[in-house]
Structure 1
Amino acid sequence: MSEKMPNILFLMVDQMAASALPFYGHPLVKTPNLSRLASEGVVFDSAYCNSPLCAPSRFTLMAGQLPSRIGGYDNAADFPADTPTFAHYLRAAGYFTALSGKMHFCGPDQLHGFEERLTTDIYPADYGWMVDWENFDTRPSYYHNMSSVTQAGPCVRSNQLDFDDEVTFRAQRFLYDYARNGEQRPFCLTVSLTHPHDPYTIEQKYWDLYDHDEIPMPRVPYSSELMDPHSRRLRFVYQLDEKTVTDEQIRNARHAYYGAISYVDEQIGKVLEALKQTGLDDDTIIVFSGDHGDMLGERGLWYKMSWFEDSARVPLFVHAPGRFASGRVKASVSTMDLLPTFAELALGAGKPEYAVPLDGRSLLPHLKREGGHDEVIGEYLGEGAIAPLLMIRRGRYKFVHTAPDPDQLFDLETDPLELVNLAQSPVHQELYQAFRDEVAERWNYEQLHDEVIASQRRRKLVYQALKQGKNTSWDHQPLFDAGTQYMRNTIDLDDLEMRARFPRVTS
């Protein structure tokens, strides 16, 4: 192991279904940059988020702790400032930590251990997007609806294109500045794009990468017989009934989604090129993952918010050819495992001292081919639910429990599309009861339910109060000192040009 702590480049995407990527078997989608990295790295075939919704998934990823432990229940949950994140641990170890892009932090702390945040966030930082389980039938206006699908197609510009173009530019600039400023600390740069998250629209040139007639339709089309109670509630949440969308609109949405994935790949390629140009690529570990997937019409469902595979399974690979031999890992792991992984990568042979108990477990044994865990624990406490929706993924099985609904038990080895619920299968009753007993042991279900309701009530009051009178925004405001940029009379011109040029000319 090198004496110098390695740089870490963490590439994140939003709402990326693992099944939509070519290195997970998709025959159509084009991602030359990501595919190259995956072929040279360690790919995790069964990686999951721990809560299939943006903010709670990201809080869990950053903290290495389940949502119930940190109060990260939904997209308007406060992420406590005293919750240690991987950025805190790495910064304490001597890293220069920076974030370009989305992390969906809610609350006054918009840094959470990052020394620099290079962009604002695309989503609001207040409590306005909170969930209200006590008034489920009153549908908030901010909830997903089906306009993302019914209006799917090419565009010239969009809100998300504006954001991700800036995210990429700021990430490139960070790498250039890091190299030419002679920074001695290792860096951990998180680059978090918001594509291919809906709305399903993308520039024409990315749309044109795909033949529309070749876009596959859902493998499991909508069927009322397939609808479990939670799925029915989700369709209510995003206002979907049997006549809401046409087959052509479904194909348009999937077409635009694939185009957005290719856009993401191109943006990541720009960051990788800057890494290479600055000579930082040899000593940088690259990690790629996402916050959750997208159902894309499978089973008649869209977006995320469930424990079905396309919603909860995410891409994950680690690219460090000089450290870890390329290959694939079949065991089930989660993005909650990234904090201890980053900490161990940073410290090498040293053992991290964690300030709080972690739920995540390091991926280093998997990367070194020394065994490793095969388990994912999940909690969904957001929109579409009316009570905690808990998940255990271990070995070939996935178990889902929520008190109001029948349990679900799937054998993903023989039934990868999750069409056969084994919860009432006579030959699986011993396994089923073991999962039931484990849920009862792991969680105080009634207490968790009450804590979520109490949090929703508190945040509702705070949000309504803060809307009255003068508004003080929590949204991150990136600050740039124009007095030290480009050409200024406070800086000698020759000195400025010398410092800004990379590589420097010494003669």
Structure 2
Amino acid sequence: SPEGIAALQAAKPLAEKKREAMAKAVSVSERAKIDLSAEYRHPMPFTDCADVPDNAYPDGDIADKAIAHLQVLKDKPFFFAVGFLKPHLPFAAPKKYWDMYTRSQCAPSAVKDWPKGMPPIAGSNWGELLGYANGAKANEPDVARQLIHGYCAATSYVDAQIGRVIDGLDRLGLRGNTVIILWGDHGWKLGEYGAWCKHTNFELDAHAPLILDAPGCTQGRRTQALVEFVDIYPTLADLCGLPVPAACEGTSMVPLLNDPKRAWKAAAFSQYPRKGDQVMGYTMRTKDWRYTEWIDRKTRQVVARELYDHRLPGMELVNLADDPTHAGTVTKLSAQLAGGSGWKAVAKGVN
């Protein structure tokens, strides 16, 4: 409403409100995680299954607190960030969510090796998992199935907690004028390439969930458009009728809500480092390709390249960057990536 927009404009900037809300959400999450880990001796197990209520684990407790806090927020415009822990490690969830799956359903990937021709710098040592008891045995079949089972259980557990918070909005009559954006901060490997966790520029790690629900928008639509997390801020501002600050690097996704098949960004960009901060891997995903350059941050020289064909089904399996038949594609995509700054031209190209 005009009154609501005016109230938002008079309030603190969205970025500041977001920082404050995230700080509160993270403090709840971190405190809960510390309490949970205190039950274990180091190193702790990578899964946990107990026949307990949802709020016996941190995410259920976070959902309880979020639902209660909606009562405080309900009578005025608000921004509320709720941060859940799962499905991060450890894969801990009440038994009923484990019971939704059988161990036989949790078969590990048949792809056990890194992509053919991959430069060594592009791989990862899945060190996060190695910090847990038996983490080094993750590629043993029974251990892999246990991990995948735990990931599925943890995902269903957090899905239920998200549903509880949305139900809380419904009970308060807030759903009709509330924008909901759900996202995860990264993808995840569950034994693909014989590897686990994240920490790479591959599609499995860079492609993350993003679901948006806004008043007046048709539900259940999907888009193949390339979007980025930097697009979230301008999208929220746009939906609230607020000006998008010029400093924003993203693009409002509102046009996609009404026309999911419309022309959109030519590429999406992300990056992940190696050797501390010595080498940065800049990666760009277009409709047909993923192109990555590993650049020495001192010399600005490209030390390795990767090119994967997404016109083919399935995972990124063959690095084509050194294939002479794709030299023209590498030249074109390298110019578009522009040493990691190509996002500027792509963002400007969206109308």
Distance 1:224 1:358, change over 3 A: closer
Aligned residue for 2:151?
A: 257
Aligned counterpart for 2:250 among listed residues 360, 379, 386: 360
Aligned counterpart for 2:268 among listed residues 371, 376, 383: 376
d(CA) in 2 for partners of 1:91, 1:310: 41
Kept in 2, the 8 Å contact 1:153–1:252? The answer is: no
1:299 is aligned to 2:215: no
How many residue pairs are counted as aligned between the two chains?
Answer: 319
- Report the CA distance between 1:244 and its aligned residue: 3.2
Q: Percent same amino acid at aligned positions?
A: 25
- Report the CA distance between 1:303 and its aligned residue: 1.3
d(CA) in 2 for partners of 1:394, 1:177: 44
Aligned residue for 2:36?
A: none
Aligned counterpart for 2:137 among listed residues 208, 219, 244: 244
- Report the CA distance between 1:190 and its aligned residue: 1.5
Aligned residue for 1:287?
A: 181
1:345 is aligned to 2:239: yes
1:93 is aligned to 2:9: yes
Determine helix, strand or coil for the equivalent of 1:378.
Answer: strand
The one-letter code sitting in structure 1 at the alignment partner of 2:100 is: L
Kept in 2, the 8 Å contact 1:200–1:256? The answer is: yes
1:208 is aligned to 2:99: yes
Kept in 1, the 8 Å contact 2:115–2:316? The answer is: no
Matched ranges for 1:4-403 at <5 A: 5=4, 93-94=9-10, 112-114=19-21, 117=24, 120-123=27-30, 151-155=46-50, 162-179=57-74, 183=75, 185-222=76-113, 228-235=119-126, 244-245=137-138, 246-320=140-214, 322-324=216-218, 326-347=220-241, 352-354=243-245, 357-369=247-259, 371-381=263-273, 386-403=278-295
Distance 1:173 1:364, change over 3 A: same
d(CA) in 2 for partners of 1:173, 1:383: 44
Distance 1:224 1:415, change over 3 A: closer
Coordinate RMSD, CA, aligned: 3.7
The one-letter code sitting in structure 2 at the alignment partner of 1:165 is: G
- Report the CA distance between 1:363 and its aligned residue: 0.5
- Report the CA distance between 1:358 and its aligned residue: 2.2
Can you list the C-alpha shifts for 1:164-219, whole angstroms capped at 9, x where unaligned? 2332112101222334xxx2x32222111010101123222211111111113124
d(CA) in 1 for partners of 2:270, 2:114: 26
Aligned residue for 2:37?
A: none
Can you list the C-alpha shifts for 1:138-171, whole angstroms capped at 9, x where unaligned? xxxxxxxxx77x74352468xx964323321121
d(CA) in 2 for partners of 1:297, 1:441: 31
d(CA) in 2 for partners of 1:366, 1:397: 22
d(CA) in 1 for partners of 2:30, 2:23: 18
Distance 1:165 1:209, change over 3 A: same
Kept in 1, the 8 Å contact 2:118–2:306? The answer is: no
- Report the CA distance between 1:286 and its aligned residue: 1.8
Kept in 1, the 8 Å contact 2:273–2:281? The answer is: yes
Matched ranges for 1:407-446 at <5 A: 407-440=305-338, 442-443=340-341
Determine helix, strand or coil for the equivalent of 2:227.
Answer: strand
Distance 1:420 1:344, change over 3 A: same
d(CA) in 2 for partners of 1:255, 1:358: 40
Kept in 2, the 8 Å contact 1:233–1:384? The answer is: no
Determine helix, strand or coil for the equivalent of 1:318.
Answer: strand
Distance 1:123 1:303, change over 3 A: farther
Distance 1:374 1:224, change over 3 A: closer
d(CA) in 2 for partners of 1:256, 1:5: 43
Can you list the C-alpha shifts for 1:39-91, whole angstroms capped at 9, x where unaligned? xxxxxxxxxxxxxxxxxxxxxxxxxxxxxxxxxxxxxxxxxxxxxxxxxxx98
Kept in 2, the 8 Å contact 1:231–1:301? The answer is: no
Q: Which piece of structure 1 moves more, 312-321 or 327-336? A: 312-321
- Report the CA distance between 1:375 and its aligned residue: 2.0
Distance 1:353 1:196, change over 3 A: closer
d(CA) in 2 for partners of 1:383, 1:340: 33
d(CA) in 2 for partners of 1:187, 1:117: 14
Kept in 1, the 8 Å contact 2:237–2:244? The answer is: no
- Report the CA distance between 1:385 and its aligned residue: 6.8
Stretches of structure 1 lacking an aligned partner (at least 5 in a row): 7-89, 100-108, 125-146, 445-507
Determine helix, strand or coil for the equivalent of 2:67.
Answer: helix
d(CA) in 1 for partners of 2:186, 2:226: 15
Q: TM-score, normalised by structure 2?
A: 0.77
Which structure features the higher share of helix residues?
A: 2
Stretches of structure 2 lacking an aligned partner (at least 5 in a row): 32-42, 297-302, 343-351
Distance 1:371 1:304, change over 3 A: same
Kept in 2, the 8 Å contact 1:230–1:385? The answer is: no
d(CA) in 2 for partners of 1:151, 1:280: 38
Q: TM-score, normalised by structure 1?
A: 0.55
d(CA) in 1 for partners of 2:188, 2:144: 13
Larger radius of gyration: 1
d(CA) in 2 for partners of 1:389, 1:433: 17
The one-letter code sitting in structure 2 at the alignment partner of 1:322 is: G
Determine helix, strand or coil for the equivalent of 1:288.
Answer: strand
- Report the CA distance between 1:410 and its aligned residue: 1.0
Distance 1:320 1:235, change over 3 A: closer
Determine helix, strand or coil for the equivalent of 1:221.
Answer: coil
Distance 1:360 1:432, change over 3 A: same
